[in-house]
């Protein structure tokens, strides 16, 4: 093995460890228990946020092949085409049957409505955040209902999608919906990410999320018209994370690995660096994790699939 390829492999491994650190360690602890009963005043705000909730329309993604993953690039470390790590190699064409995907990330209003229907209280972290932004920053219920869902576990995301007749998208479905059939490096094309295209690179001294409405950032939509496929919140998908899955996945409708420790997370968040916004960048998190940087959107299989 050459020194260059050895160094590249070490860099890929290091980058993946960093990605897991950012998603799992730096973002907060794993908390799976139900939240405590909110105060009467917060409960009134939650009820209003739920009342104002609107569902996302679903967008059809046509059947056909698309370019998944990345080609190795070793001479342009900061370029949009350069792989984040080796888990997104090799690039190859994958066929997907027709499916539908939420145009928008599942909103906070819809998530709170789901919890309410299950007679569950929001997690204590989410309650603390809501009360802080309402009482200290005077964020309105109308604004909060259009925030993306956050502090949500993979199981909750999976159950919410199932409750409305859908499911979480596979990792391949998510990538096609984000980049289109020809493998665009960002949802909007090749332009370097900026503040008019995506919500990313934000920081708050008290770690308060800096979020955008789920139906905003029209300039940054994907080729199919989906919002926030880069930034705002990263998104749970259905698959277990497979470090080397791209090397052996089936060429048609890959379902993801059958077992794993981490669930795949895609898209980057309001805190992410530019490289995490790439449509091919992969990451993972423990499925019981609740963090302020991971949300989700739902998909649905179509009756008109393989020709």
For 257, the domain range is 3-301
Average pLDDT over residues 179-191: 96
Supply the pTM of this predicted model.
Answer: 0.87
Closest to 24 in 3D by CA, of 280, 256, 241: 241
User: Hey, which residues does 264 pair with through a beta bridge?
Assistant: 284
Residue 230 sits in a domain whose CATH number is: 3.90.1580.10
Cis geometry, peptide bond prior to residue 90 (ω within 30 degrees of 0): yes
Going by pLDDT thresholds of 50, 70 and 90, the confidence category of residue 304 is low
Average pLDDT over residues 267-296: 96
Closest to 171 in 3D by CA, of 83, 243, 255: 255
Helix or strand run (H / E) with residue 66? strand 64-68
pLDDT digits (tens, 9 = 90+) for 31-55: 345 799 999 999 999 999 999 999 9
Chain-wide mean pLDDT for the chain? 89
pLDDT at 29: 38
Q: Answer yes or no: is 307 within a domain.
A: no
Residue 35 φ/ψ region, left for φ over 0, alpha for ψ in the -120 to 50 degree band, beta for the rest: beta
The residues near 300 (Cβ < 8 Å, ≥ 6 apart) are 58, 99, 100, 101, 165, 166, 167
Q: Answer yes or no: is 8 within a domain.
A: yes
Q: Answer yes or no: is 289 within a domain.
A: yes
Task: Give me the percent of the chain exceeding a pLDDT of 70.
Answer: 88
Give exposure, 64-102, as e/b (b: 16+ Cβ within 10 Å): eebbbbbeeeeeeeeebebbbbbbbbebeebebbbbbbb
Going by pLDDT thresholds of 50, 70 and 90, the confidence category of residue 303 is confident
User: Any long-range contacts for 178-182 (C-beta under 8 Å, 24+ apart)?
Assistant: 178/222, 178/226, 178/229, 178/230, 178/266, 178/267, 178/279, 179/66, 179/67, 179/222, 179/223, 179/279, 179/280, 180/66, 180/222, 180/223, 180/224, 181/64, 181/65, 181/66, 181/67, 181/223, 182/66, 182/67
pLDDT digits (tens, 9 = 90+) for 3-17: 344 444 444 444 444
Q: Looking at the 3D structure of the chain, how many domains does it have? A: 1
| Pick from 37-41, 78-82, 123-127, 135-139: least confident | 78-82
pLDDT digits (tens, 9 = 90+) for 93-118: 999 999 999 999 999 999 999 999 99
Residue 127 phi, psi dihedral angles, 5° rounding:
-60, -45
| Pick from 65-74, 222-231, 285-294, 298-307: least confident | 298-307
Q: Does residue 58 have a pLDDT over 90?
A: yes
| Pick from 2-16, 22-36, 65-79, 117-131: least confident | 2-16
């Amino acid at each position: 093995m050459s020194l260059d390829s050895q160094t590249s492999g070490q860099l890929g491994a290091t980058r993946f460890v960093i990605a897991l650190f950012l998603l799992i360690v730096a973002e907060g602890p794993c908390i799976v228990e139900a939240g405590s009963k909110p105060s009467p005043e917060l409960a009134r705000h939650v009820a209003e946020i739920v009342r104002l909730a609107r569902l996302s329309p679903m967008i059809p993604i046509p059947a056909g092949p698309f370019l998944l993953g990345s080609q190795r690039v070793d001479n342009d470390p900061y370029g949009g085409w350069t792989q984040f790590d080796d888990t997104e190699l090799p690039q190859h064409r994958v066929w997907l049957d027709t499916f539908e995907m939420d145009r928008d990330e599942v909103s906070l209003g819809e998530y709170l409505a789901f919890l309410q229907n299950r007679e569950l209280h929001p997690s204590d972290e989410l309650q603390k955040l809501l009360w802080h932004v309402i009482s200290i920053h005077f964020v309105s219920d109308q604004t909060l209902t259009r925030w993306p869902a956050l502090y949500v576990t993979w199981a909750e995301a999976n159950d919410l999608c199932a409750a409305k007749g859908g499911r979480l998208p596979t990792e391949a479905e998510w990538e096609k919906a984000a980049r289109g059939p020809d493998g665009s490096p960002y949802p909007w094309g090749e332009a370097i990410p900026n503040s008019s295209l995506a919500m990313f690179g934000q920081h708050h001294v008290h770690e308060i999320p800096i979020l955008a409405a789920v139906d905003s950032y029209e300039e940054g939509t994907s080729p199919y018209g989906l919002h926030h496929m880069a930034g705002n919140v990263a998104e749970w998908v259905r698959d277990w994370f497979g470090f080397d899955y791209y090397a052996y996945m089936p060429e048609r409708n890959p379902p993801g690995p059958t077992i794993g420790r981490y669930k795949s997370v895609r898209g980057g968040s309001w805190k992410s660096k530019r490289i995490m916004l790439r449509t091919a960048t992969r990451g993972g998190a423990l499925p019981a994790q609740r963090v302020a940087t991971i949300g989700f959107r739902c998909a649905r299989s179509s009756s008109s699939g393989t020709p």
